[in-house]
Amino acid sequence: MPNGSLAEWLHPNENTYMDSPIKSLSLVERLSIAVDVARALDYLHYHGPTPIVHCDLKPSNILLDDDMTAHVGDFGLARFLAPPDTLPSQSLTTTSGIKGSIGYIPPEYGMGGRPSIEGDMYSYGILLLEMFTGVSPTDERLRDGVSLHKHVEMAFPEQVGDIIDSKLFSTTNVEANTYASENVFDCLVSVIQCGLWCSKESLKDRISIKDAIKQLNSAWTKLLSS
């Protein structure tokens, strides 16, 4: 893809060459990418002939085209969720080795849980939190057993501004002065809340991608309201 992967934009020092220009995504661009990925998951989970679970959702698997539209790639670990009696050759016994990527794997997978739509939602929630905080779930700053979810949860909602990626409002980013600060804060709270809801430890407590899209649309409304 012309604009590479989301990982290159979120962590340019780790994913670009020394002579490459420093990349930065604005608030609007990140929110737009979040919605693009959510719509892709909605299609995979609910709008195909058989539900599909991606199983490896992370920034390096989110590719950006000329218009910065996001596309979900790398389906090497993806699985169909067809009933075992209809697809015996692809039954859940073939998924026991799935590990995904460290930091984005839902807790139940580590305990032998089978791939599920709720598992994708956990990965999406972590992706959202990473996109808006700039902190990877494997970042060295996350110590003493504190996960990215817990790190964000401890600051939510009053100290959300303290954990947001500083590059969102860089001096070269005109958006910093385009929207009222209160609107920006309300938008960020909605997005972070969505990420926390998606990445809850218990799969039964996670929201669906349809509810996540509603929450992100609410964030858009708050950002653009006068």
Asked if 36 is an active-site residue, the reply is: no
The active-site residue, picked from 36, 56, 120, 165, is 56
Distance (Å) of CA 58 to CA 10, 150, 173: 11, 18, 25
Residues in the chain: 226
Phi, psi angle pair for 58, to nearest 5°: -160, 165
Return d(Cα 185, Cα 191) in angstroms, integer: 10
Catalytic residues: 56
